A = this chain, B = another copy of it.
Amino acid sequence: MSSVTNGNHERDLPAMTVQRIPLYLRCLLEAQGERLTVLNSKQLGERAGTNAAQVRKDLSHLGELGTRGIGYDVDDLVVHLMRRLGITESRFAAIIGAGRLGSAFLGYQGFVARGVQIVAAFDADPAKVGIEIEGLTVKSIDEFAQAVGNEGIELVLLTVPAVAAQRACDVVVAAGIKAILNFAPCTLSVPDDVTVRQADVAADLQILSFHLNRASSGGETR
């Protein structure tokens, strides 16, 4: 009603654009490491594995971030993408399930640079509670709700066995968490306002297996 050049560039990004923003951000951080200050849509597209038109269309949804005749300022764009992703300040995450996979993520040093900080680990198994993994003491799942408030936890990585996943998920949802990354190969039931992303490694391998078939068989039917 008052702004002129500022269109409705605030909410409602296409789902596919949202999925690519982390990819663009990663490529831009790489470019920063190479001391590049400007990237055009073609260059960014090549790094991200897409094309220039896709990059321009995606970024145009965020506002007019580029300079015609020049390209995109790398530092500027990094800030804009981080702001859109809500990671200008690190988001705090918790791991539920201190098994092999959960421990691997606890020890991974790469999350902080991507705007996520793992601040706590929980397990339902009393044998796991109290042990220290990568400098963090595993807490009981019973303490989860309290920890969410105390530590500002907003994201959950669910790394429990499939049979325990729904139970753990219920605890997480009851504590007010709205975003879950589920590594268990099962469908989780959650309220509409909770977002679940599925990370099923076996499914990924099956998809790759499918593509192996397509490549090898020349064209015979049997």
Q: Chain A interface (Cβ within 8 Å of chain B)? A: 10-11, 18-19, 21-23, 25-27, 30, 47-49, 84-87, 91, 93, 99-101, 103-105, 107-108, 110-111, 114-116, 154-155, 157, 162, 178-181, 185-187, 193, 195, 197, 199-215, 219, 221
Q: Which of B21, B195, B210, B219 lies in contact with A84, CB distance below 8 A? A: B210
Give the distance in Å from the alpha carbon of A11 to the alpha carbon of B181 in the complex: 33
Contact B104 A205 (CB under 8 A): no
Give the distance in Å from the alpha carbon of A21 to the alpha carbon of B107 in the complex: 33
Contact A111 B211 (CB under 8 A): no
Contact A205 B114 (CB under 8 A): yes
Apart from A23-B203, A91-B212, A193-B215, 5 more pairs, CB < 8 Å: A22-B203, A86-B212, A101-B104, A116-B202, A181-B208
A26, A197, A204: which has the most chain B beta carbons within 10 Å? A204
Contact A205 B181 (CB under 8 A): yes
CB distance from A110 to the nearest CB of B (A): 6
